[in-house]
Amino acid sequence: MRTDKKIQLERKRHWRVRKTVIGTGVRPRMSVAFTNQHIYVQFIDDAAGVTLAMASTLSKKSESPGKLSANTTSAQVVGKLAAEAAMAKGITQVVFDRGGARYHWKKGNSKESKPVYGKLATLAEAARAVGLKF
């Protein structure tokens, strides 16, 4: 598939999500963005137009700043950091904005194996484990 077609499809997915997902002061929008190298998470109050908290692979609060990249292990670390930053600001409930990325997982090879989660699903599960509700 051509690159411009992939970008166009991702934008369409993002617009579909953003039509329905709106953050408020009580329940801000948890916006997730991926590049080829980094992962970014922001908690946004759309009514006031401000960012309340944020975390990324470039955060100085991570165990190894600058060493994290855009993969599932880093997504787990960033999800935990984002949830902790939100809890510190008093945010317990959020609306999840996946930003056009696919929330996916696939089954393992055998019946006994656990499913393998993608970056977005791993990030969301790590944030839920800390106590963030969405």
Q: Is the pLDDT of residue 122 over 90?
A: yes
Rounded to an integer, what distance in angstroms lies between the CA atom of residue 97 and that of residue 41? 10
Tens digits of per-residue pLDDT, 84-105? Answer: 999 999 999 999 998 888 888 7
Tens digits of per-residue pLDDT, 39-57? Answer: 999 999 999 999 999 999 9
Q: Do residues 34 and 98 make contact, with C-beta atoms less than 8 angstroms apart?
A: no
Chain-centroid distance of CA 13 in Å reads 15
Residue 29 burial by Cβ neighbours in a 10 Å radius (0-12, 13-18, 19+): buried
Q: Can you give the residue ranges of every domain in the chain?
A: 23-130
What predicted TM-score, i.e. pTM, was given to this entire model?
0.84
Domain 23-130 bears CATH identifier 3.30.300.30:
no
